[in-house]
Amino acid sequence: MSLDSLAHRWYASEGSRSPLLLLHGTGGDEDELVPFAQAAAPGAPMLAVRGAVSEGGKLRHFARHPDGRFDSSEVVRRADELAAFVAAARDRYGFGPPLALGFSNGANIAAALMLLHPALLTGAILLRAVPPLTGTAHAALVGRRAVVVSGETDSIAPPALGADLTLCLTKQGAEATHHVLPCGHDLTPADVTLARDWLSSLAEGAPAGPASSHLIRP
């Protein structure tokens, strides 16, 4: 796949941080998560990708059925396309396997990437995510790490679905944890702090701990 297939921005870095793959939510674009990523992982190289699907004029990474249900075949197709794009970007820009940072629809496509292309990512920060696929065979995720972050009052991506996704990743061998913050579907400073601390634990080699769901209050 050509790099021209998806609009994106590449932020190079001279540091040693792991590269991040930024995947925005519905209605966002490739710039949406850049400030978040810069705060959570200062100096990290970043590949920020714009979704290629428009839903009511709002950009997304995959289309849905008119009633909002996910179309598994569409999710798989878009995840395959994104995986091929990331591989092409790695060849062009010369970076190693990235860690995904996704919000909402971007977190859902990042989860699909983990499940369908386990060698593509080293792990993922999945903000306001739900299980993207059902009835699809997934590859083993041994050695991959993920953190799923839900909002306590989020009606779009309820904490129960975040817990389901965490369990799905864990069953495939990933080291996944689930956190619930006292907020809705919006991103908050607490998300940045949690992501920064989680990334620091990766750099220090700390164990991820068992899959769990717990509410974090300031």
Contact (CB, 8 A) for 16 and 167: no
Active site residue 154: yes
Angle value at C-alpha 128, between 131 and 9, nearest 5 degrees:
100
Record the tokens describing residue 200, joined without a space. Answer: 């620091």
Q: Pick the catalytic residue: 138, 185, 201, 213?
A: 185
Active site residue 18: no
Q: Pick the catalytic residue: 8, 18, 61, 104?
A: 104
CA atoms of 30 and 50, how far apart (whole Å):
5
Q: Where are the alpha helices (DSSP H) in 41-154?
A: 72-93, 105-116
Contact (CB, 8 A) for 170 and 208: no
Cα distances from 54 to residues 26, 51, 58, 89, 140, in angstroms, run: 9, 8, 5, 23, 32
Active site residue 104: yes
Which residue is listed with tokens 């634990």? 201
Q: Where are the alpha helices (DSSP H) in the chain?
A: 34-40, 72-93, 105-116, 159-171, 189-204
Q: Pick the catalytic residue: 154, 178, 179, 191?
A: 154
Active-site residue set: 104, 154, 185
